[in-house]
Every structure is written in structure tokens, then in C-alpha cells.
Amino acid sequence: MYEKMFGIGKEIGNYMCLSLGKGISSALVMRGKLIYGASEIAGQIGHMAVEKDGPKCYCGNYGCLELFASGKSIKAKAVETVKGNQNSMITDLVYGEAGKVDLDIVFEAASNGDKTAIDILSNAAEYLGMAVSSVINLVDPEAIICGGKLGNNRLFINMFKEALDNRKMRMRDGEIKLITVENVSSYRAIGAAAFILERFLENGGGVPDSITVK
């Protein structure tokens, strides 16, 4: 809602928003309208199954995207690297202390050419590309707008773009726009307020009987 009313989404009619941080959050805007769905949970790409025999997710499904492509999953892979005492810059940067691993450590190691860190990020980007390309083929958006800590890392976004390019449907005309937006500290609050503002405007300036924001 923040992007739709105040950000880059104002200029685009059909797009997908991705918040790539500890988890993976997403939403779809089609013809300028936020898609809610029957249960108002449309666009939950983080819980799209990408592995048939994958581990169980907290949502109750198995093999969800979040288990393979989120910041939490990337950190978990890096922690495994340190605990396994693997030959990696990740281990060196935290002096062998797994508790000190975070995304910045993985980014730093990858940007310095560490193969393990690059492989961890590349694998996550491939899973993300697999899921998002399916959404692109299904709803045909003009753009993918990415935010969050992962969404603002240039190395990861380049990997993600390559994964999308490798999986795009050949009959689709034109390139999909992949747009990264800087994190705004108050965007959640502004976005929540935008729900009320939109309903207010749709109501002709009147106050509706009830407003439900989920």
C-alpha cells in the first residue's frame, strides 16, 4: 500500500511487491488494485511450495519458499558452514563462532569471492526465481518491486535477475522490470494508514460502517 499510494507503484498498474528479509512477504497489484483474495491472504509467495519432499513449514505446508530463499534460511546455511568448520570466509569472519553469523557476514564473504557464501546466495536466488517466474507467467505483471535486506543487496538481486531471465516464458513480450526500493523506516505505518485512506476515498469521503485491516 505504501508503494501503491506514495512510492514507485503510483506509476505502474500491474506489479508484485516483494519484501525480502528474515521472511518473504509479497502482494499483488493488478490494474491499480491490491488483490486481497477470498480470505484476504492473496500473494503469499513465501508459502508457495518449491520442494515436493521439503521440510515442514510453520504454516503447515511442506517445502515452502521461505525455507529455501529467505534471510532466515540463508543465515541457517551459513551457521551450518561454521558449525561444520568448513573452509570458508564466513567461518573466518566470525572467528568460528556460529552465534555471530548474520546476513551481513554472508554478504561480505560473497562480495569477497568466497565460494561457499556465493553458493548459499545463488541457491536462494534460484529458488526465489523459480517461484516468482511462476507468478509472472500466471498474472503477467509489468514489474517486480523488491525491498528488505536481501532486496537491497545488489549481488543477491543480480543473482535473482539471472534466475528470472533463465526461467522466463519465451512468448512474453518485453523485459520484466526488476525495481529495488530503499527501506523506509516508517513505511509499515504509512502503508497501514494508506488502507484507511484508500477506503475513505473509495467511500466518497464518507466513513464506512467498519474497516478491517489484516
pLDDT 10s digits, 142-190: 999 999 999 999 999 999 999 998 887 766 667 788 999 876 656 666 6
Q: Would 100 be classed as within a structural domain?
A: yes
Q: Would 14 be classed as within a structural domain?
A: no
Q: What percent of the chain has pLDDT over 90?
A: 59
Q: Which of 89, 85, 84, 57 is nearest to 70 (CA)?
A: 57
For residue 173, count other CB atoms closer than 10 A to its CB.
5
Task: Specify the pTM.
Answer: 0.85
| Angle at CA of residue 28, ends 22 and 30, nearest 5° | 165
| Segment 22-31, tens digit of pLDDT | 999 999 999 9
Does 198 have pLDDT greater than 90?
no
Q: Would 24 be classed as within a structural domain?
A: no
Q: Which of 89-103, 132-146, 163-177 has the lowest mean pLDDT?
A: 163-177
Q: Would 204 be classed as within a structural domain?
A: no
Query: What's the mean pLDDT when you consider all of the chain?
Result: 87
Select the more confidently predicted residue: 34 or 103: 103
Q: Would 83 be classed as within a structural domain?
A: yes
Q: Would 40 be classed as within a structural domain?
A: no
Number of domains observed in the structure of the chain = 1
CA pseudo-torsion sign 183, 141, 133, 34 = positive
How many angstroms separate the CA atoms of 150 and 102, rounded? 12
CA 209 distance to own-chain centroid: 34
Q: What percent of the chain has pLDDT over 70?
A: 82
Range with top average pLDDT, 91-95, 162-166, 209-213: 91-95
Rg (CA), the chain: 19
Q: Which of 180, 174, 106 is nearest to 136 (CA)?
A: 174
Q: Would 214 be classed as within a structural domain?
A: no
Q: Which of 11, 2, 1 is nearest to 34 (CA)?
A: 1
CATH code, 153:
3.30.420.40
Select the more confidently predicted residue: 70 or 194: 70
pLDDT score of 113 = 96
The domain in which residue 135 lies consists of 49-183
180, 18 Cβ separation under 8 angstroms: no
pLDDT score of 194 = 65
